[in-house]
Amino acid sequence: MSKSEVRYQDVSSTELNSRAANLCKVTLVPDEAHPEDIVVQGCPQCGHETTWSEPVIVVRGIDIDVTGDLARVLLDGFRDAGSPINKRDVTVRCQCNHPHPGAPKGVMGCGRWWSLKVGWGN
């Protein structure tokens, strides 16, 4: 079965999570010592190129992304307080540029989503 024929399904599974742990490329931007964004690449289901990026700091309930200077100030604050942020669970959804059979109109990606445990530094 070619990867373009993966049927769209809005699902996740523990099996997909573990495949993602092996397959997905995780990058901390700008670097591991002072990460501001977590970038995850690759879809473990359809194998297409897809890039997911989310800020290290997510302010829940408020629809803003904290990046740049503000993120740096907050991260330094946590570090000074003795509780550095050095891990995150990231939920990633496939956003590849391929229409998959069965996908809702206008929706790209195979619909799969998965969780990754991302850790860095110490």
Residues in touch with Zn ion (CB under 5 A): 43, 45-46, 48, 94, 96, 98, 110
Nearest approach, Cβ of residue 117 and Zn ion (Å): 20
**Among residues 57 and 94, whose Cβ is nearest to Zn ion?**
94
For the chain, the maximum distance between any two Cα atoms, rounded to a whole number of angstroms, is 52
**Among residues 43 and 66, whose Cβ is nearest to Zn ion?**
43
b/e burial code for range 38-55 (CB count within 10 A of at least 16 → b): bbbebbbbbbbebebebb
Nearest approach, Cβ of residue 45 and Zn ion (Å): 5
CB 116 within 8 A of CB 40: yes
**Among residues 46 and 66, whose Cβ is nearest to Zn ion?**
46
